């Protein structure tokens, strides 16, 4: 059971480039989340999804886009990368709403130069 | 989710018990208290959840007083590998209000030899 898988693990982008961070889960969870974590800080919610075809903004959505065409996949798109988007990105999934046990991926470390 | 307040950091020594208190004065009747643990360079992992009184598992104990306005996560006989950031989350286990799984800054626990 792989759980939540994120790819790539590391990436360096140049300012203005675009990329997609991939997230896949094999637990048939309806709820999925994207977070960013800056050095020494807590997690900030970027976007979340309550099921295929349904997404909503979190605390810091600007500069990002998401889609949820299947239950398993929840990619995060960065358009026109900026140095402020240098961070570690975590994807998570949970079986139910609210404060249920969420499962996290290992993260993607992104550097924008 | 309900607003929570927890210490920014705590130091301890191997073999000691670590107690982290989380304040949540505005906790609602249907809110649960959940704690996550995040090791360096990893995503958070769920460690314990409770509603009232005391909950214990193989990792920690969670103490919740009768008024539920605070809670204490207790880590018995810590080792160096318990060095991590611990997050307290308070919210419902269902309903639209609980869809946004948001994290605060957490408590950074450093266990020294």
Residue-averaged pLDDT of chain B: 91
Instruction: Check pLDDT > 60 for residue A31.
Output: yes
Owning domain of residue B62: 9-96
**Residue among A31, A55, A97 nearest B30 (CA):** A97
Of A41, A101, A105, the CB nearest to B46: A101
Residue range B48-101, pLDDT digits in tens: 999 999 999 999 999 999 999 999 999 999 999 999 999 999 988 765 555 678
Of B85, B91, B106, the CB nearest to A99: B91
Structural domains counted in chain B:
1
Q: What's residue B96's pLDDT? A: 56
**Residue among B39, B2, B3, B33 nearest B20 (CA):** B33
Residue range A55-80, pLDDT digits in tens: 999 999 999 999 999 999 999 999 99
Full strand arrangement of the beta sheet holding B9-13: B9-13, B107-112, B84-92, B31-38, B45-50
Does residue B57 belong to the interface with chain A, where contact is any CB pair within 8 Å?
no
Residues of A in contact with B92 (CB under 8 A): 97-99
In this structure, what CATH number is given to the domain that contains residue B31? Answer: 2.60.40.10
Q: B37 lies in a domain?
A: yes
Q: Do B101 and A56 touch (CB under 8 A)?
A: no
Q: What chain A residue is nearest to B9 in terms of C-alpha separation?
A: A40
CATH class of the structural domain A4-112: mainly beta
């Amino acid at each position: 059971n792989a759980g939540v898988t994120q790819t790539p693990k590391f990436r360096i982008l140049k300012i203005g480039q675009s990329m997609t961070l991939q997230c896949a889960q094999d637990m048939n969870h309806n709820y999925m989340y994207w977070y960013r974590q800056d050095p020494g800080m807590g997690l900030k919610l970027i976007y979340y999804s309550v099921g295929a075809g349904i997404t909503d903004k979190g605390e810091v959505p600007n500069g990002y886009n998401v889609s949820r065409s299947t239950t398993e996949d929840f990619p995060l798109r960065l358009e026109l990368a900026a140095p402020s988007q240098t961070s570690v990105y975590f994807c998570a999934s949970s079986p139910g709403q609210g404060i249920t046990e969420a499962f996290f991926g290992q993260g993607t470390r992104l550097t924008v130069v | 989710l309900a607003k929570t307040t927890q210490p920014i950091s705590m130091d301890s020594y191997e073999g000691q018990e670590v107690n982290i208190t989380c304040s949540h004065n505005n906790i609602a009747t249907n809110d649960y208290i959940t704690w996550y643990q995040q090791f360096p360079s990893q995503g958070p992992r769920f460690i314990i959840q409770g509603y009232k009184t005391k909950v214990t598992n193989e990792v920690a104990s969670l103490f919740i007083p009768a008024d539920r306005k605070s809670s204490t996560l207790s880590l018995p006989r810590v080792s160096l590998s318990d060095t991590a950031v611990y997050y307290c989350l308070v919210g419902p286990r269902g309903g639209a209000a609980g869809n946004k799984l948001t994290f605060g800054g957490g408590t950074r626990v450093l266990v020294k030899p």
